[in-house]
A and B are shown apart, each in its own frame.
Chain A
Amino acid sequence: MLLDTKDSIMEKLEILSDAAKYDVACTSSGCERAGDGSHMGNCLVSGVCHSFSADGRCISLLKILMTNHCIFDCRYCQNRVSNDVRRAVFSPEEICTLTMEFYRRNYIEGLFLSSGIIKSPSVTMELLYETVRRLRVVHGFRGYIHLKAIPGADPLLVGKAGYFADRMSVNLELPTAEGLRTLAPHKTRKTILAPMRQIQLRHNQSREELMVYRHAKEFVPAGQSTQMIIGATQETDYQILSVAENLYQKFDLKRVFYSAFVNVNEKDRLLPVTPEGPPLWREHRLYQADWLLRYYHFRAKELLDEEHPHFNRYLDPKCSWAVGHLEQFPVEMNRADYHMLLRVPGIGVKSALRIVKARRFGSVSFEDLKKMGVVLKRALYFITCNGKMLYPTRLDENYIVRNLLDNERKGPQFSGEASYRQLSLFS
């Protein structure tokens, strides 16, 4: 295979950032590391956004492929071997130069490095490993590194690479094994889950070592994440959310990312046609539900079930749940426990915490709630302060839904054909 060393670094960057853009993970969060007084870089646990691209997503890391050469033929991917596209390869040193120079100008928080499969999974992983090793050891870089583990690569290489990365990820690609079989014939559940398990075990082990021995090296301190493509295969939202819940519970994943399917190989008859463009609203609902799983103590089966396997297009999952469980409302702000506060639409994790803390020193009023960040125009149907509601409202499903929808429609999110009568809300 021809290694295109003649391309300028600019041309390579254009090709290899374009090829990496369908990987949606962009965060630089989850890892706190102070500077050491001599080398370049530190990490902030909250992550930092450095720009926003024209699709509205945050740019935080230099997100590139090492190469878009690939011997695999995943149907949904523009880099697949059967496509005739311009190909390029970065050398490890080129990647280091770009990362260091971008970082010192404060363009980025760090590097997100993935790759097509060049020659074999192990050869690819070896090159990825060499790149991050060089960046850390030769250039002394202390910023954030997110590295892909290549399914099917020698576990030894994955094990070594994790000591130089802050986060690693193996993409699940498609929610079910059948999906994988049809659309990613070179990948299997097994080759994907094996490195995921390895990273999980090694990460937990290194945490234990750290407790005993302060200078033990940490293995992927920011944990691991994964990504699924939404809408390329037939899975329901309920199936997808249950897979995510499983991954959080059984593999200790930090994040599951969802990527609305963008059809880049339109002639492929195995891929669905998407005349309305990528299913962005579905992706949006999945992210909302994902937050409910991770921070709001919801279970997948509370939000959806076999009979109602899809999200409501017009109402977010938390509101949907609340209007379906009106018997649990209204909630008294001066008494309800933290767990119940979290279930009220319009109350987020931060404001729930603030409410719990503030009411130790006096009773909270609607005015206080507003100052604490509660979105009253959503919450008002579900709460009381000292026994009183903000306005006299009816605790009635249709009434509340109509008012909530009025709010949502005024927002910029989804325009178009949404008339409230057309909705089959709980069907």
Chain B
Amino acid sequence: MYALMCEDSINGVFSGIYEAWAGKYNRDEVVLRTGAVCNFELFMEYRQIQEDAEAAQKVANTLRRRFGEETYERICYALWSDGEDKADAVYRMVRYGIEHNCGAGFRNHLTNEAVRRVFELWRAAFNEAHHYLGFLRFSELKNGVLCANISARHQVLEPLAMHFADRLPKENWLICEKNRGLAAVHPAGMDWFLTKEEQISTLSGEKRSTSDEEFASMWRCFCNSVSIEARENLELQKKNFPLRFRQEVL
């Protein structure tokens, strides 16, 4: 057996899939992994796979063409999830799809184990990203830059950055992801990019603007006064609004 050790990114795993397909291996004898090896397994040969943008692009094009945008998006979210087995689940799903000549609808073959696993991973990452679409907060710094901090389980920076680039095209903004020390940076009117958080510490060290504190307190005032006392239901609030998000929001 061969374990192809991929970098933990979409391009990394796609490079691994490309390698597995390149004819050097018997596909039944390949597993894909991300991250570092913790427990070396007997009879397993480990191969480090370098990220190869060109190869990854080819895989992406094939997936899009054969399975359509929605399935492709589902695979991307699965690879943004924190599932340890995500690379192999995607590899097995893609194999199944290609070997059985499946069309766009095969992401719903939930009776297939690999398809179902990718479905679960997609749902976990997608749900967290969707929560952050609402719960992420920007504060305005003195220099006018909008800055948000999140601590996510899954790699949600990319989908969030795409969303806010579409929504706030003429703003300078950045989103810092504390757990991975990464940030998405969007200069007004330009494309966004990912970078290490420490490289922008000067920016995020900047103080909040004075009007920002005013708008934040108006927002708090609003949230308090729209609640109907006669209907108060803190249990329900807690259920809908997980505490780990609440700290970041208010």
A→B interface (CB under 8 Å): 9-10, 13-14, 17-18, 20-22, 34-42, 44, 46, 48-60, 62-63, 98, 101-102, 104-107, 109, 260, 262, 277-278, 280, 354, 357-359, 361-364, 368, 371-372, 412
Contact = CB atoms under 8 A, between A and B. Distances in A.
Interface in B188-216: 211-212, 214-216
Interface stretch (B12-20, B24-32, B50-58, B222-230): B222-230
Interface of B: 105, 108-112, 116, 120, 130, 133-140, 146, 148, 164-171, 211-212, 214-219, 221-237, 239-241, 249-250
A106 B164 CA distance: 9
B227 A21 contact: yes
A234 to B, nearest CB: 21
A104 B171 contact: yes
Given A104-B171, A105-B146, A361-B111, A22 B228 contact: yes
Contact of B231 (A44, A49, A262, A372): A262
Contact of B227 (A14, A48, A53): A53
Contacts of B116: 371
A35 B227 contact: no
B118 to A, nearest CB: 12
A106 B175 CA distance: 12
Nearest to A98: B218
Given A40-B167, A42-B167, A358-B110, A106 B138 contact: yes
B150 to A, nearest CB: 11
Contacts of A18: 225-226
Contacts of A362: 111
Contact of B241 (A52, A63, A104, A357): A52
14 contacts: A17-B221, A18-B226, A34-B166, A50-B135, A51-B249, A53-B226, A105-B137, A105-B219, A106-B148, A262-B228, A358-B108, A358-B111, A371-B116, A371-B120
Nearest to B231: A55
Contacts of A44: 133
Contacts of B239: 56, 412
Nearest to A361: B109
A310 B148 CA distance: 49
A9 to B, nearest CB: 7
Contacts of B138: 104-106
A227 to B, nearest CB: 14
A359 B111 CA distance: 8
Given A40-B170, A51-B223, 4 more contacts: A10-B221, A39-B169, A277-B231, A357-B105
